[in-house]
Amino acid sequence: MQHPPDFTKGNTITDWWPDKLNLAVLSQNAQLVNPMGVNYDYRDAFKRLDYDAVKRDLYVLMTDSQPWWPADYGHYGPFFIRMAWHSAGTYRIGDGRGGAKDGTQRFPPLNSWPDNVNLDKARRLLWPIKQKYGRRLSWADLMIFAGTFALESMGMKPIGVAGGREDVWEPQLDVFWGAEKTWLTDTLRYGAVAEAEKSAASADNAASASPGAAPDDVANRNALDNPLAATEMGLIYVNPEGPDRQPIPAKSAMDVRITFRRMGMTDEETVALVAGGHTFGKTHGAASPSHLGPEPQGAPIQEQGLGWKNNFGTGNADDTIGSGLEGAWKANPTTWDMGYLTTMFKYEYELTTSPAGAYIWLAKDVEPQDMVQDAHVPGKWHRPMMSTADLGLKFDPVFEKIARHYLAHPQEFHDAFARAWFKLTHRDFGPPSLYLGPDVPTETFLWQDPIPVNKNYTLYNRDVDELKKAVRESGLTVGEMVRTAWASASTFRGSDKRGGANGGRIRLKPQINWEVNQPDRLKPILQKYEIIRAAFHQRGIRVSMADLIILGGAVGIETAAHQAGATLHVPFAPGRMDASQAETDIEGMAVLEPRYDGFRNYLQQDFAVQPEDLLVDKAQLLNLTPPEMTVLLGGLRVLGNNYDDSPHGVFTDRPGQLTPDFFTHLLDMDTEWKPTVDKNRFNGICRATGAQKWTATRVDLIFGFDAQLRAVCEVYAAADGRHKFLHDFVIAWNKVMNADRFDLLN
């Protein structure tokens, strides 16, 4: 009898060299993994979707309880609200990553986070609808539609919803969710001082503290590391039992405030979301979590992607185990009303534990009309429940004032929740120009970074030629033109489609004062552009500053190529508009300020990761591939794009000319590199004479060190690489300059 080969798992490259630069994030979501094919256009497919039929099907599903996963109170609405909320709620403003825009809740780690327990069943309930509409309806859109129409089906009128989110087909490789290796821990996401304070805190003292007390010996929750938003690994927001399971509502409110702000929400929006969301449904903690099997990613193959198999009782309905908390917040959990806030402020609460052992607070001396009917057993009633995090709205003085105001003004509460829900589910989606569907709101919000609509603003070819001539004769240098265009356009983040050159916000606060933009040098450059713009306006030729800055970059590149003996044309697509200061959310825009930009050799501070990793992070936000990152950086070095005119990485004797000199000199074996006392600085020494030739940073030298990047550099450093370098540089440059031109999609 033959036995199959004894295969053993071999070590991967990462196993051998764990510090190897990870370039995989620059190649994710490639066409090779997309089953739709290169010609598939989801926006076009969505426009052919029978939207009203989808809505009707979702309404029917809400009360079509399935025996394999019965609906609480006979209505799936609360379940779908939680699914949509947890899909959108991973968004954080620090780097724009996470969110609902691409359906990543289907993939690990999100599909297996403890906070997403049992949401695998919600998506399976939606599968018949997804199957029916196929490629015309993405999972990303369907999850948000399900949550929004669930609200509507239970009496809450949303302000609208938009489609157009295109699914990805592999897990997110670019999102750093935290360094912890264990679920529901926070040991590595707070600053060292905060961790020391937290370790000194006494859980026993915390558990016995009054609801309104926040002990002095607890961690400074503001020390949560950026860009993280959730307070523990595997959570969307906060631990509902309280920080580190310390049931102190006032302290929990600190976590709630920080994490919601990290997701772009004000205190008013935070209260509206919590109170509105918890108007519906219940929590699940029928028994100890020990009855649950592994999460979907760790479950055996026969479970077919389902996880958390429950061997307690029936495994569902009244025997469901989820967060561990057990109970509903108010009577009538499938009806929009003021019950959550009314119940919260009407009763005192006593601390107890659920059957799963989780801390919960039960209302005392509850009147009959406020008792909650059991979700599955007729005639069975329960006292309303609040989590520690819920009671934070009652014991935090700022939250309490807002909550009581909403309680006294129900219509304001409705409007606030509707707006906050729309923001929650669309903040990561990008500008309104990407929104599709008949329920798109007509109102524009400041958090959408509004840009005036282009009304008959057109630049003809002859206008562009005259403008380019004026820029060339303005006295601006190649470096000034290129540097300003890069500073304007490279704010773009593909993660949430914020930033970019459209709007011309580089001339407004806060961008005009950002350190990386060197305000003292930027302002005179913008003044020269303003003079050109005003002169053309007097001639009846309208041009926006946003367009003029990008056109100036094109002029700089063409000039630099000409000075190097090459003829080069940089394409230019006019149509950008100028936003006003009033149309700019200064606080919201501040999160886009670069703390690092390897393309400018700029590093504001030391980070826990190496500068080359930060370069890749920046390139990924710009949607660049490894070759595009490489050719852009090499070209920008010789063009004078470095912060503060730093000489690091400027491997050329002819700066200001567009040449492949960066690559030829980086790969030149006549140069030996020596470290300096600054761990990020290196000197290039001539092997023959010992004389210093160049200086460099880690970001520069990584292109000669990393085997994959070195292979790309060799293409441009080869004797026949000059033409390809110029061609590829222009394509990569234009990709960044037009990254936010969503108006060109339609």
Catalytic residues, which ones? Answer: 86
CA distance 417 to 156: 9
Cβ pair 405, 715 in contact under 8 A = no
Q: Provide the terminal-to-terminal Cα distance of the chain, rounded to the nearest Å.
A: 64
Q: Using alpha carbons, select from 707, 590, 502 the residue that is nearest to residue 226.
A: 590
CA distance 325 to 374: 15
Cβ pair 308, 430 in contact under 8 A = no
Cβ pair 348, 341 in contact under 8 A = no
Residue 288 Rama label (left phi>0; alpha psi -120 to 50; beta): beta
- Kind of pairing between the strands at 282-283 and 327-328: antiparallel
CA distance 138 to 164: 8
Count of beta carbons in the 10 Å neighbourhood of residue 129: 18
SS3 assignment, position 154: coil
Question: Positive or negative, the Cα torsion across 484, 486, 491, 496?
Answer: positive
CA distance 673 to 701: 9
**Length of the chain counted residue by residue:** 746
Residues whose CB falls within 8 Å of the CB of residue 380, separated by 6 or more in sequence, listed in order = 373, 374
In eight-state DSSP terms, residue 378 is: T
The letter for the amino acid at 707 is A
Q: Which residue has the tokens 């490789």?
A: 173
CA distance 139 to 137: 7
In eight-state DSSP terms, residue 363 is: E
DSSP per position, 10-53 = PPPHHHH-TTS---GGGSTT-GGG-TT-TT--HHHHHHTS-HHH
Count of beta carbons in the 10 Å neighbourhood of residue 496: 22
Type and span of the H or E element at 684: strand 681-686
CA distance 655 to 333: 68
Burial class (CB in 10 A: 0-12, 13-18, 19+), 447: middle
Residue 77 Rama label (left phi>0; alpha psi -120 to 50; beta): alpha
Type and span of the H or E element at 425: helix 410-426
Q: Which residue has the tokens 């601006």?
A: 476
Q: Which residue has the tokens 């970019």?
A: 500
Type and span of the H or E element at 98: none
Residue 199 token pair: 């370790």
Say if residue 432 is preceded by a cis peptide, omega within 30 of 0. Answer: no
In eight-state DSSP terms, residue 286 is: S
CA distance 119 to 236: 13
CA distance 546 to 395: 48
SS3 assignment, position 382: strand
